[in-house]
Homo-oligomer: A and B are copies of this chain.
Amino acid sequence: MSDVDRFLKQTAEWLRSSGPNSDIVISSRVRLARNLSGFPFLGKLNNELQEDIVESVEEAVKKSSFLKDASYFRYHSLTDLDRQFLLERHLISREHAGEKGDKAVAITHNEVVSLMILEEDHIRLQAFQTGFNLIEAWRIVTQVDDELEKNLDYSFSSELGYLTACPTNVGTGLRASCMLHIPSLVLTKQVHKVLQALSKLNLAARGLYGEGTQAVGNFFQFSNQMTLGQNEEEIIDNLERVIRQVIDHEREAREYLRQKRKAKFEDQIWRAVGTLKSSRVISSQEATQLLSLLQLGINMELIKSDLKAQEINALFLLIQPAHLQKLIGKPLNSSDRDIRRADLIREKLVKVNL
């Protein structure tokens, strides 16, 4: 078993669906962008300089109490499937999953912290928490950052703050985000209003896999757009306050559906379950959409089942292409995946009775 496959056997700590408001906020994440002083940004780095950076960061990782036992992978030692797998687990970024180059990633065993080397910035450091808990994610990431900084010389301007490859990250280099599951705002067609309000507040809404990806299965990643002009706590406070409102709206929408649109709503939920329990061919997109409705049904106690929210969270991951292929243990083309995905879902949903 490769070290990467080890992750297949576990549910990441931050998908355990045990944190505050975890029926709506799946997970909270804070990531920092950092660059080493004295080196150009990624676009201008030759191979030798890249190697120097990787080695420096590697050294600092070994000296970090948080990261010294982490799994450590050079991208060129990973197969395409491995990198796709780490992307699906949100441990590396979409834009860099396709590349080999001299990149590397360190991942703690519970998958709470990952440190990407030579992605858009020299260093991207992120911490995840289950549920609505940005403060704890921030507490962790800043501790690791402080430790690393003891052994690394970060590119920092007293006027601008941390310098980054893309100007949108200059300043704190911080992006805080929460993955929200807001199916009722989608079903009641209020989600566009929410997204509009968000954009006026300089917050961004993205799909499951970050920038440029579509919202699928009623999941939206909400994050700050601004990294400059506010300190870290202000950025997080601001995002938290807005998300708290979105949570309230989603709860109201759930009650509206339960009380005012009962028959149609229950029909939508149960049909989703019926399709999940019966289909023989299913795309990851359709499955995600239907699992979202199952999750909602369980959250709202319309569906009584021994299946735990955490198991459904795990299933959202397991049905992704790379996870599915690793689980089956061989490469599968798209049609074969659609068949195996349907098999897996039926097997996992045996505990849910129609």
* Chain B hits for A281, CB < 8 A: 263-264, 267
Give the most central of A264, A274, A275: most B CB within 10 Å.
A274
Q: How far is the CB of A36 from chain B (nearest CB, A)?
A: 52
The chain B residue sitting closest to A338, CB to CB, is B263
Instruction: Give the complex CA separation of A270 and B282 in angstroms.
Output: 12
A279 at interface, CB cutoff 8 A: yes
Instruction: Give the complex CA separation of A270 and B273 in angstroms.
Output: 13
Instruction: Give the complex CA separation of A270 and B274 in angstroms.
Output: 9
A243-286 CB contacts (< 8 Å) to partner B:
263-264, 266-267, 270-271, 273-282
* Chain B hits for A346, CB < 8 A: 354
Instruction: Give the complex CA separation of A313 and B266 in angstroms.
Output: 28
Q: How far is the CB of A344 from chain B (nearest CB, A)?
A: 15
* Chain B hits for A279, CB < 8 A: 267, 270-271, 274
B267 lies within 8 A of A354 (CB) = no
A77 at interface, CB cutoff 8 A: no
A299-354 CB contacts (< 8 Å) to partner B:
335, 339, 342, 346, 354
Interface of chain A, main secondary structure: helix
Interface residue range, chain A: 20 to 34
A263-B335, A335-B263 given; A277·B354 CB < 8 A: yes
Instruction: Give the complex CA separation of A282 and B271 in angstroms.
Output: 11
B278 lies within 8 A of A274 (CB) = yes
Instruction: Give the complex CA separation of A128 and B280 in angstroms.
Output: 39
B278 lies within 8 A of A354 (CB) = yes
0/1 string, A208-237, CB within 8 A of B gives 1: 000000000000000000000000000000
Give the most central of A263, A278, A282, A335: most B CB within 10 Å.
A278
The chain B residue sitting closest to A336, CB to CB, is B263
* Chain B hits for A266, CB < 8 A: 280
Instruction: Give the complex CA separation of A354 and B282 in angstroms.
Output: 16
* Chain B hits for A263, CB < 8 A: 280-281, 335, 339
The chain B residue sitting closest to A262, CB to CB, is B280
* Chain B hits for A267, CB < 8 A: 279-282, 342
Q: How far is the CB of A195 from chain B (nearest CB, A)?
A: 29
B264 lies within 8 A of A270 (CB) = no
Instruction: Give the complex CA separation of A67 and B23 in angstroms.
Output: 67
Question: 5 A-B residue contacts at CB 8 Å?
Answer: A267-B279, A271-B278, A273-B278, A277-B354, A278-B354
Known: A267-B280, A271-B279. 13 other contacts (CB 8 A): A263-B335, A267-B282, A270-B278, A271-B275, A271-B278, A273-B278, A274-B278, A274-B279, A275-B275, A275-B278, A277-B278, A277-B354, A278-B354
